Structure 1
Amino acid sequence: MNSLRHRHISVFGLPALALLITAAGCSSADGSRSAAVPSPDATVAGLCRNLDKVLPAKVDGERREDPSPASTLTAGWGDSAIILRCGVVRPPKMSDPKVAAGKDKDAVAGGVNGVQWLMEKQDDGGYRFTTALRRAYVEVSVAEGRDSSSVLIDLAAAIKKAIPEGIA
């Protein structure tokens, strides 16, 4: 793919992805300090443990503050403003032809720094991103008001290093 070391966003779904990322407005996290821990098979759990070891200490300028219960399958930054869960099930929207065609107003597919994502707008104003075309699904929830593009850029290197490309 692109061997340049600068930021790269693929053109697949770019207008809709840019619109939804820009729409990630201006309020704070809900302060919740818990996250449901996924229960993947042993192979995916191993990939997730590898991801946990290489996750950045800061994402979008926020320090890592993991949610409860403690698990190598979950991570958080900024008092739960950003929550990562590794080993989640495939989101139903990934199979929706309207998303692939760019005709779903609340979900869009796109790529940031070599990682493909499904982005879904949440009822609380935040966004949920789920990796695509990787051997494990990694979900990242971003609270309303956070810079989603910075979050995805900050997490891309760790995801590429720990979760190989392929179909989960």
Structure 2
Amino acid sequence: MSSSRHRLYGLPALAALIVATGCSSSDDSATAAVPSPGAAAAKLCRDLDGALPRKLDGLGRKDPRPASALTAGWGSPVIILRCGVPRPPKMIDPKVAEGKDRDAVAGAVNGVDWLMEKQGGGAYRFTTANRKAYVEVEVPEGRDSSTVLVGLAPAVKKAIPEGIAD
């Protein structure tokens, strides 16, 4: 009988531990792989970090881990920006340029050119084009992508000059 009583007390304690761990603030933080661009792009990305808005689409800035001047985030679920990423393969795909790729589209928002790629779960990834460094923005499902890109355009134009990334 003592072993069943032990199990009865052990299960509620384990359940409480799981609930407490699941609600911890560490789970609230997103993570993002930090890009490793060349020196010129890294400098531009640090400039971008200083120019980024504190709020985006009404959401406060909440940077992902590990902390880096090459990454930024807003809200929860988090909108993640990574600067200095490699050129996406779809950027040079002729089907995209011809408008024949249903999962990737090129376009411009407020003077910044972007490649838009559909992701799983209704999310979108946008990558700047025709800039000296590639800036990638992942917008989760349910967020207004156009509002996000309009909010980021002034900072991108200020910090990342037009041109071709190395």
TM-score interval for Structure 1 and Structure 2 normalised by the shorter chain: 0.7 to 0.9
Residue 61 of structure 1 is aligned with which of 41, 58, 65?
58
Query: How far does residue 80 in structure 1 lie from its aligned partner after superposition?
Result: 4.6
- 1:17-166 aligned at under 5 Å gives the runs 33-166=30-163
Query: Which gives a bigger RCO, structure 1 or 2 (Cα 8 Å, sep 6+)?
Result: 1
Cα shift at 1:81: 2.3
> Higher Cα Rg: structure 1 or 2?
2
Say whether the 8 Å CA contact 1:32–1:80 is kept in structure 2.
no
The alignment partner of 1:85 has SS state of strand
Long gaps (5+) in structure 1: 1-29
Cα distance, 1:32 vs structure 2: 5.8
**Alpha carbon RMSD of aligned pairs, Å?**
1.3
Write 1 or 2 for the structure with the bigger share of helix: 2
Contact residue 31 and residue 81 of structure 1 kept, 8 A: no
TM-score of the superposed pair, with normalisation by structure 2: 0.81
The AA in structure 2 aligned to 1:127 is Y
- TM (normalized to structure 1)? 0.81
1:86-111: per-residue Cα shift (whole Å, max 9, x none)?
Answer: 00000000000110111101000000
Question: Aligned-pair distance for 1:31?
Answer: 5.8
**Alignment gaps of 5+ in structure 2:** 1-26
Q: Percent identity?
A: 73
Moved over 4 A (4+): none
